């Protein structure tokens, strides 16, 4: 009965949503001059950043990203706080499984490659698809793999915390430096460089690297926390 009701309600909702969105048109230009045109123009002409998404994420809407990073930080902290227990023995894992040697060897083999890929992705965030978040996530996957493969693989919680904090501090400080140099928060105060070079886009690349570190540390810490959760 309840399910029927829910389906009915959802059908109505779906109908309205669909009616609304299908009227929007697909793949057409809907507005004369939105912000995207400005972004597409300026990202090349002023920021010298190839990846427009990166320039938007880190510069035009960099404030969002700062918030986003904070959300991640909060989420990890919140997990730590929520799962906190009075007598907490570090190193005890709640999820214990023995992996086969294939997995172990494969992981060992793959781990550096994964880390390298991640680092590549967030270093080239302003040039090619990807960026700090993606790279960070990939790095965290590497650690996940290692944690799955090795029961006693451990990451120093403090190290993660340092990386996390320093990266965050660096982000804000870069923003504040922009504030002091150029007048507004997160303003680019470094030379923009040449488009499609690694050292281009001013602070954008640096910030994205920081974000990469931070995301990697946070996701790893997150996995680590859950993995060490005991009943």
Partner 1 sequence: MVGSPVLLIAIPLLAAFVIPLIGMIWKELVRIIPGLVLAYMLILSATLLYYVSQNGIIVETIAGWQPPWGINLVFSPLTGFLATLMSALGFLVWLFSYRFKRNVDFEPAKKYFIFLMLLIAGAIGIVITGDIFNQFVFIEITGISAYALTAFYTGRNSAEASFKYLMMGALASSFLLVAIAILYSQLGTLNMADIASKMHTMNPTYKIIALIFFITGIGIEAEIFPLNGWAPDAYTEAPGPVGAAFAGIVVKAGVYAIIRMIFTLFDIPSAYDFLIVIGLITLIVAETSALRQEKLKRMLAYSSIGQMGLVIVAFGIGTHEGVFAALFLMLNHAVIKPLLFFSGSSLVFNSKEKQIAEMNGLGKRMPLMAAFFSLGAFAIVGLPPFAGFWSKLSVLSAAANEGLLLIIVLILIVSVIEIVYYFRVVNRIFFQEYSREKSAAPHRPRVNALVAMFVLAIAILVIGFYPDAVTGILHNASKDLLNTDEYINNVLQLGQSLTR
Partner 2 sequence: MDDKLFEILEFGVYGASILLILIGLYAVLTKRSLIKIVIGMSIIDGGIHLLLITIGYLKGGTAPIFSPGYEEAAGQMVDPVPQALVLTAIVIGFGVTAVALSLIIRLYRHHHTLEIDEIKRLKW
Partner 3 sequence: MNTIILIFIIFLGGAILTFLAGMLKGILKEVLFLASVFVPVVLFFTNISIGQTFSFQAAGFAFQWGITPLSYVFALIVAGLGLMAAIYAVSAMRNKDNVSFFYFNYILTIMSMLGILFSRDLISFFIFWEIMTWSSYLMVVYQGKDVQTVGIKYFIFSAVGAYAMLMAIVVIYSLTGSMMIDSLIQSFPGFSFNMQLLIPILLLIGFGVKSALMPLHVWAPGAYSHAPMAYSSVFSGALSKMGIYGMVIVMVSLISHIPGGHWFREVIAWLGGITAVMGTLWAIKQDDAKKLLAYSSIGQLGYIIVGVGIGTPLAMMSGLFLAVMHALFKGTLFMVVGAIERQTGTSNLTEVTGLIRKMPWTFLAALFAIIALAGIPPLGGFISKWMLYESLIGSNHYLLVIVIFFSSTAAFLYCYKFLFGFFLGQEETEWSHVKEAPAMMVVPMLILAVSTFVLGVFPGLILNPINEAMQTLGYANTQGHLWELSIIFNEWGNQIAMQPIVYTIIGIFLFFLTFLTIKGYKETRYVTTKDISSSGEVPKEHENLTFSMNFMQPFFRAVEPLMRRQIDKYYTGFANGMEALFDFTRRIYTGNGQTYAMYVVIFVVLLLLFKNIIFG
Footprint of partner 3 (CB under 8 A): 6, 9-10, 12-13, 16
What residues from 40 to 59 belong to the interface with partner 2 (CB under 8 A)?
40-41, 43-44, 50-53, 56-57
175/213 Cα distance (integer angstroms): 17
Q: Which position has the token pair 């781990």? A: 111
Q: Which of the choices partner 3, partner 1, partner 2, none does residue 175 contact, using the CB cut-off of 5 to 8 A by kind?
A: partner 1
**Minimal distance in Å, beta carbon 5 to partner 3?**
9
Q: Give the count of beta carbons closer than 10 Å to the beta carbon of residue 218.
A: 25
Question: Between the CA of residue 188 and those of 19, 44, 59, 110, 178, what are the distances in Å?
Answer: 43, 14, 8, 37, 6
Q: Which does 12 bind (CB under 5 to 8 A by kind): partner 2, partner 3, partner 1, none?
A: partner 3
Of 17-25, 119-127, 133-141, 190-198, the segment contacting partner 1 by CB under 8 A is 17-25
In angstroms, the CA 21 to CA 33 distance is 21
Q: How far apart are CA 125 and CA 123, in angstroms?
A: 6
Cα 83–Cα 88–Cα 89 angle in degrees, nearest 5? 130
> Interface with partner 1 by CB under 8 A: which residues?
16-17, 20-21, 23-24, 30-36, 38-39, 42, 59-64, 66-68, 70-71, 73-75, 77-78, 80-82, 84-86, 158, 161-162, 164-166, 168-169, 171-173, 175-176, 178-179, 182-188
């Amino acid at each position: 009965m309840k399910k029927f009701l829910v389906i009915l309600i959802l059908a109505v909702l779906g109908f309205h949503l669909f009616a609304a969105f299908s009227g929007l048109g697909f793949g057409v230009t809907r507005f004369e001059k939105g912000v995207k045109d400005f972004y597409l123009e300026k990202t090349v002409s002023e920021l010298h950043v190839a990846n427009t998404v990166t320039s938007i994420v880190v510069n035009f809407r960099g404030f969002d990203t700062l918030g986003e990073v904070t959300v991640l930080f909060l989420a990890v902290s919140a997990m730590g706080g929520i799962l906190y227990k009075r007598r907490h023995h570090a190193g005890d894992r709640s999820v214990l499984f023995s992996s086969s040697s294939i997995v172990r060897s494969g992981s060992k083999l793959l781990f550096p490659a994964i880390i390298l890929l991640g680092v590549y992705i967030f270093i080239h965030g302003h040039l090619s698809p990807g960026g700090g978040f993606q790279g960070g996530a990939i790095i965290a996957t590497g650690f996940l793999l290692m944690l799955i493969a090795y029961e006693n693989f451990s990451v120093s919680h403090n190290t993660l915390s340092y990386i996390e904090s320093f990266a965050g501090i660096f982000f804000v400080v870069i923003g504040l430096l922009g504030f002091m140099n150029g007048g507004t928060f997160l303003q680019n105060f470094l030379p923009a460089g040449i488009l499609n070079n690694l050292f281009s886009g001013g602070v954008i690349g640096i910030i994205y690297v920081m974000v990469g570190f931070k995301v990697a540390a946070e996701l790893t810490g997150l996995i680590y926390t859950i993995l060490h959760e005991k009943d």
